[in-house]
Amino acid sequence: MRQAYPRLIGACSALAIALGGNAALAQEPVPNAGPETVTTDQAQQDGIVVTGSRLRGAAPVGSTVIAVDREAIVDSGAVSTDRLIQQIPQVLDLGVSENSRGQGGGSGNIAYGNTINLRGIGPYATLILVDGHRAVNNSRAFEPSVIPTLGLERVEVVADGASAIYGSDAIAGVVNLIPRRTLDGIEAVARGGWGADFRESTLGIAVGKVFDRGQIMLAYERSYRSNLSGDDRDFFRSDQRPFGGNDYRVTRCAPGTLRAGGVAYALPAQYTGQPLTAGTTNSCNDLIGQDLFPQQKYNSVNGTASFDVTDWLTVFADGFYSKREYERLPAYFSSTLTVPQTNAFFVRPAGFAGTSYTIDYNFINDLPRDVSKGSATNWQITPGVRVKLPSDWQFEALFTYGRGDDQSDQVRGLNATALNAALASSNPATAFDPYGLGRTSAATLLAISNFVTLSPTLNHFNGYEARLNGPLFTLPGGQVKLAAGYEGQEIETFLGSARGAAGTPIVFRNFLRRVDSAYAELLIPLFGPGNATPGFERLEVNAAVRYDKYSDVGETTNPKFGVNWSPLPGLVLRGSYGTSFRAPLISQIYGNSNNLFGQTYQNPAGGAPLTGFAYSGPNTNLDPEEATTWSVGADWDVARNFRLSLTYWDVSYINQVDSYLSDLAILTREAQFAGTGIILRGTAARDRVLQLLSQGVTLARGTFPGGNPNNVDLFIDGRNNNLGQSKTRGIDFVANYSLTTDNAGSFAFNASGTYLFKYQTAASPAGTPIDRLNTIYNPLKFKARGSVTWDYDAIRVQATATHVGSYRNTAITPNQTVDSYTPIDLAVTWDLGEMGAPSFLGGVTLGLEVRNLFDVAPPYVNVAPSLNGGGGYDPSAANPIGRLMAASLRVKL
């Protein structure tokens, strides 16, 4: 069985066709021929369990598998496993992403991790497995990069509902990370990449041994990606008028803007009482110095082992250890200060008779940035046994023991209580000077910037699995097979929080969840090799059902049915139908914290952002999400070297858990939230904030206008709620074509992509679904990827294009049309051994790569710079790095 990576015909396809135009057509496909549907014949031949089915020796019925094999993993040049999977067109960078946290699920991504969001249906709606079993996570999302790329044999993706097979989270599909078990020798890699104000690197080694009765493998990888500062990209700016956009500058600057008696006055750099001009303001960038994405360091290890104790008993194990460390530079603090006349440095403007005024102010010249640092540490071990039983039956049992530890720390936050005291102080030694003369004492500056925010999350996971697998009896079409099993999960989560002055202790909340599940899957081959007839070369029916019982959110039963029909050799028509579910996360139910956060929101009317206050807290009334999924499709081997695959799919998703804590563009959709209480304005906003404060909820970030909560006029409920519903339809396609010439080498042309016909959502269960397809921060209509690969003796040249279609920016009125985005990558590798190098260089491969060959800039998007990603560009649809040069050395011994 050969599986490879989806690729689209790239920029050098014309050259490749020209070179091979007069050549003889090959009878056998060349390597690297793209993704293939894993057929039942292939699965039977290899005796494997393919993702999407529990049946040994059977491919999923009604669904296809996108497979990324070892060769494609190497060719990808990805610095981490999550970046590898992001290259698949069905994967969108929405929600739980290091560079875009403003969408659903983003507010919980406090450690800046990455996970997989298939088709944009939701960051928690894709189940990620390790070698077919569940793995420890941070109680929010699983990071694929806990497995190093050097330790991966392949990645299998089933973009179809699979809760009947695997349980919770498999609404959009399943991603299975399959570790290496075939490595026999040593493989090492060193790679470095350099772009404008950015760099990345990878060092790794894997050692494996395959012997008569088993194997053992251990892989280690250290990866590094530097931060990318918004200051180093001209599109990340508040004043976007040079690009044809709006002026999003704010008046919280240094020097600031004084407001007295309803009149604004721009302050000079040093204000000592000189005359001010009424009706003027100082304007500046809102997010000076903020990272577009943080610095990340990965250290990851994984291993596998298996041993045939006897002819009928095999013991096996897999495990991993990973520590990811991040550092993110935020923007400098800004706030609206209330300066009373008691302030030791108070300056009374000419003609002002009041007792206080406000100053819109930025602390860039006074305080350091509240750098966000943290780490995500995960490890687990999964030993198991496999027993061969009579009549080709098999029993398998395994146990998973895993631990997770996320740390998210900020230790120089703005202490609102200390700041207000310093503004009111009449003592120059303890007062704060907002007039730009630098007279605030070091001790006072330390006091007003000693607010700590510590948010550790500890997760303990114990998993139990036992399953039987084998044939029941034989029909003329083949063996009727059954898989049945039990799974148990014990998940204990510790949510920690410390918010306050330095020295505030961390308080942990402890939660326990128990899950017990039983499942069965049946395959019935009605037609097959034994009774094939014209019109019915093969006809297979599959049925699966699963029951899950949760200790905290109830129980659910989900079925799935699939059919494969081959009316003629080389053509398979398929269909599937099923229901899926997702249990709310423990962190979603109980919240990361119980606090208010001052934030700036995209102003739908344009101009400077609006200041509002969002609430993050528990919601113990959350219910599981539910979905109905179906698909139809075809896989056609047009010729031995030409394959096409099409899948039309439909997902109806209800009871979706949504959180709007990090959605800073929510006001652009305010009408959709009518009656939900998510957005409150005026006195309703003020009363809600006062109610929360009376219940002990504290303000964790920002300051109230004028230092008084009575001045609040915008409130956002950022808790998780069962509000959403969505309907998504689309078509996936894959095409592979290979060509071997007599004297010009071999070529592989590959294309894959997804085209959406429908994406409608409602913000409440009773709301009218609204078409949000192809709009900013939502699933886009068309995304595709592919390549042309040319192999000539020891040289491989590959050109890859990734295309994201144009879409509408609905965050402004009138809407903006955002241009399409098509960066092209070029990679060249030389196998020194095949080039006739000395024998000691026989396993050495050199590589050069240029990502975004033509340095295509992200399409301009008219949105204000955001604390949670974006501004002048859309981080969910485009890469801000630009051209990246990379060199690699790979050694196999």
CA dist., res. 230 & res. 244, Å (int)? 19
> Following CA atoms 264, 269, 274, 280 in sequence, which dihedral angle do they give, to the nearest 10 degrees?
-20
Structural domain contains residue 510: yes
pLDDT of residue 31: 37
| Residue 632 in this model has a pLDDT that exceeds 70 | yes
pLDDT category, 21, cuts 50, 70, 90?
very low
Torsion 230-233-236-239 (CA) sign: positive
Q: What is the DSSP letter of 531?
A: T
pLDDT of 840 reads 67
The answer to whether 763 and 723 have CB atoms below 8 angstroms apart is yes
Look at residue 615 and tell me whether its pLDDT is greater than 70. Answer: yes
Answer yes or no: is 644 within a domain: yes
226 found inside a domain: yes
Residue 236 tokens read as 């990340």
**Can you say whether residue 515 is alpha, beta or left, with left for phi > 0 and alpha for psi between -120 and 50 degrees?**
beta
Give the CATH number of the domain where residue 475 resides: 2.40.170.20
Degrees to nearest 5, angle at CA 595 with 405 and 581: 60
Which residue is it, tokens 């049992």?
397
- 578 close to 629: Cβ distance less than 8 angstroms: yes
pLDDT in tens, 803-841: 999 999 998 889 999 999 999 999 999 998 777 667 667
By DSSP bridging, strand 478-501 and strand 507-527 are antiparallel
Assess whether pLDDT exceeds 80 at residue 470.
yes
Q: Are 147 and 385 in contact (CB under 8 A)?
A: no
What contacts 671, CB < 8 A, 6 or more positions away? none
Instruction: Look at residue 107 in the predicted model and tell me its pLDDT.
Output: 62
The residue to which tokens 């250890």 are assigned: 321
The answer to whether the beta carbons of residues 197 and 259 sit under 8 Å apart is: no
**Cα first-last separation, the chain:** 24
Q: Which of 105-109, 130-134, 486-490 has the lowest mean pLDDT?
A: 105-109
521 - beta bridge partners?
483, 544
> What pLDDT band is residue 110 in, cutting at 50, 70 and 90?
confident
Helix, strand, coil fractions of the chain, as percent rounded to 5 = 10, 50, 40
* Structure confidence at residue 839 (pLDDT): 67
Q: Which of 104-113, 154-163, 205-214, 771-780 has the least mean pLDDT?
A: 104-113
- The edge-to-edge listing of strands for the beta sheet with 356-362 is 263-266, 257-260, 356-362, 334-340
Residues of the domain holding 775: 13-231+294-329+374-409+455-590+623-659+722-892
More confident position, 721 or 267: 267
- Cα separation values, 693 from 592, 596, 687, 698, 860, Å: 18, 9, 10, 6, 41
Number of C-beta neighbours around residue 827 at 10 A: 21
CA distance 480 to 54: 14
Burial annotation 437-475 (CB, 10 A radius, 16+ → b, else e): eeebbeebbebbbbbbbbbbbbbbbbbebbbbbbbeeee
**DSSP symbols for 158-226:** E-S--HHHH-TT-SSEEEEEEE-----EEEEEEEEEEETTEEEEEEEEEEEEEETTEEEEEEEEEEEE-
Query: Parallel, antiparallel, or unpaired: how do β-strands 393-413 and 356-362 relate?
Result: unpaired
Residue 94 banded pLDDT, cuts 50, 70, 90: low
pLDDT: which is higher, 108 or 441: 441
DSSP 8-state symbol, 860: P
The answer to the question of residue 282 being in a domain is: no
Question: Is 239 inside any structural domain?
Answer: no
pLDDT (tens digit, 9 = 90+) per residue, 718-769? 888 888 889 999 999 999 999 999 999 999 999 999 999 999 988 777 778 8
User: How many separate domains does the chain show?
Assistant: 1
- 467: in domain: yes
Of 282-291, 426-435, 669-678, 844-853, the poorest mean pLDDT is in: 669-678
Among 15-24, 198-207, 496-505, 687-696, name the one with the lowest average pLDDT: 15-24
**Domain presence at residue 398:** yes
Peptide bond into 525 cis (omega under 30): no
Classify the C-alpha dihedral 690-692-697-701 as positive or negative. negative
Q: What is the pLDDT of residues 634-691, one digit of tens each?
A: 999 999 899 999 999 999 998 888 888 878 888 988 888 888 889 999 999 999 999 9
Distances (CA, A) of 523 to 49, 56, 468, 542, 717: 13, 11, 14, 5, 48
**Predicted pLDDT at 47:** 58
Separation CA 75–CA 77 (nearest Å)? 6
Asked if pLDDT for residue 29 goes beyond 50, the answer is no
Q: How far is CA 397 from CA 315, 414, 423, 487, 549, in A?
A: 10, 53, 66, 10, 20
267 lies in some domain: no
Q: Give all strands of the β-sheet with 714-717 in edge-to-edge order.
A: 679-681, 714-717, 610-616, 595-601, 698-701
For the full predicted model, state whether its pTM sits above 0.75: yes
Residue 394 confidence (pLDDT) above 90: yes
The Cα 240–Cα 224 span in angstroms is 32
Rounded CA-CA distance 617/609 in Å is 24
